[in-house]
Amino acid sequence: MQQIADPFLYTLLLIFVCAKLFGELFERLSLPAVLGEIAAGVVMGPFALHVIVPSASVESISELGAIFLLFAVGLETHPRELINVGRTSLGVALAGVVVPFAAGFVYVVLHGDSPQEATFVATAMVATSVGITARVLGDLGALQARAAKIILAAAVFDDIIGILLLALVAGLASEAGVEWQPLVLLLAESVAFAVFMIFIAPRIIRRMHGRLRHVTTRNASLVIALAICLALSVAAEKIGMAAIVGAFFAGIAFAEFAPELGLRPQVNALSEFLAPFFFFVMGAQLDLRVLTPKIILSVAIISVLAILSKVIGCGLPLLREGWRTALKVGVGMTPRGEVGLIVALIGLNAKMISEEYYAVVILMIAVTTIFAPPVLRLLFRYPTFAESELAKSPATAAAAAEPLQ
């Protein structure tokens, strides 16, 4: 009841409507809706039309959006399924770190820049950001596919490797240099957290579950699930992992009882409302004015390297499972995100990389983010030509089909 219209509510309205209209438009053009939501941010954001400048409150909302998105994804992921693909995913994650790093390092050195600069650029090309892939797979209803499980499990390993690399480059940039003791502690903490959440937490939830009826709070199961989701997001951040990985862990801990407790539609509603702000803000941060002709070539080369190296690195360990699964996982692991940004920022602040390489890294992140959704959609939705041919013979078609569940 104020005389002046609240800019916060008005901004939320504008962002939500723009994101959803662009999403609808993209869907009709056979492009992923999430790309439309990012495009809405680019177009309406501070660096293009300048209609909407996300405030701190909007950024907080967008953060919650990413958290509930991964919580919802976790709710559809039974821990046993993650464990089943565990060894495979570890190989995928490791090769998916080594190959992009090597590609980035060699390119920058061949380009005539220092090995130190090469180290930062290469590190920024390593860590996958799984949010956008999770959303695309969710939109396609493909979260139960084996490739999706491998991606989600590999993303957990990738995140653990990512925080170690982040600590390493932070050490390189500091005057004290790299200290190994905190690094080992960090590794132990994050591995322990992941092991606890995947192997032990689901059992605790199973025991707690019977006692839920003694709680008088209305809709107690949702309230407790939300509290645990927030708690694990905070815990993950405290350790140094991504908050969304904590939210994902919270989801898998509840996955077994999610149908019985009716959690999925409720958490989906939260994610449906909040996640568009995440993707819009992601788009709004993209400043296309950095794109001078000199930089465009570097961006193109580094982006192609970033995409190919991840597709090859993550795909190679999976060739036994068929090139299609390998390709799905490789493309699903392509998007880079916050870790790359932070690595580049640390390098820039310590004057270890140039402003040009900083811009190149940011745009590489944008390119990989925009590249993955439409390709994933093609791979998961339409059978390839080879598979259509196979499909003419029923026996081989069954063998070629992606095993669901």
* Rounded Cα distance, 86 and 80, in Å: 10
* Rounded Cα distance, 276 and 13, in Å: 11
Quote the least distance from Cβ 158 to a copy of itself, whole Å.
Answer: 11
Structure tokens at 144: 């139960």
Quote the least distance from Cβ 363 to a copy of itself, whole Å.
Answer: 19
Between 83 and 140, name the residue whose CB sits nearer to a copy of itself.
140
Between 7 and 403, name the residue whose CB sits nearer to a copy of itself.
7
Between 45 and 337, name the residue whose CB sits nearer to a copy of itself.
337
Which DSSP string corresponds to 224-259? HHHHHHHHHHHHHHHHTS-HHHHHHHHHHHHGGGHH
Q: Which residues bind a copy of itself (CB under 8 A)?
A: 1-6, 8-10, 12-13, 16-17, 20, 23-24, 27-28, 33, 56-57, 60-61, 63-64, 67, 127, 139, 159, 162-163, 166, 170, 215-219, 222-223, 226-227, 230-231, 233-234, 237-238, 240-243, 262, 265-270, 272-273, 337-339, 342
Q: How many CA atoms lie less than 13 Å away from 367 in the CB half-sphere? A: 20
Q: No. of H helices and E strands in the chain?
A: 20, 0
Between 5 and 395, name the residue whose CB sits nearer to a copy of itself.
5
Between 85 and 130, name the residue whose CB sits nearer to a copy of itself.
130
Q: Would you tell me the crossing angle of helices 263-284 and 56-75 to the nearest 10 degrees? A: 140
DSSP-based three-state secondary structure for 108: helix
Q: Which amino acid is at 23?
A: G
Between 102 and 164, name the residue whose CB sits nearer to a copy of itself.
164
Between 247 and 390, name the residue whose CB sits nearer to a copy of itself.
247
Quote the least distance from Cβ 20 to a copy of itself, whole Å.
Answer: 5
Quote the least distance from Cβ 12 to a copy of itself, whole Å.
Answer: 6
Query: Which of 338, 341, 337 minimizes the C-alpha distance to 357?
Result: 341
Quote the least distance from Cβ 116 to a copy of itself, whole Å.
Answer: 21
Q: How many CA atoms lie less than 13 Å away from 155 in the CB half-sphere? A: 33
Is the C-alpha dihedral spanning 317, 321, 327, 328 positive or negative? Answer: negative
Quote the least distance from Cβ 399 to a copy of itself, whole Å.
Answer: 31
Quote the least distance from Cβ 26 to a copy of itself, whole Å.
Answer: 10
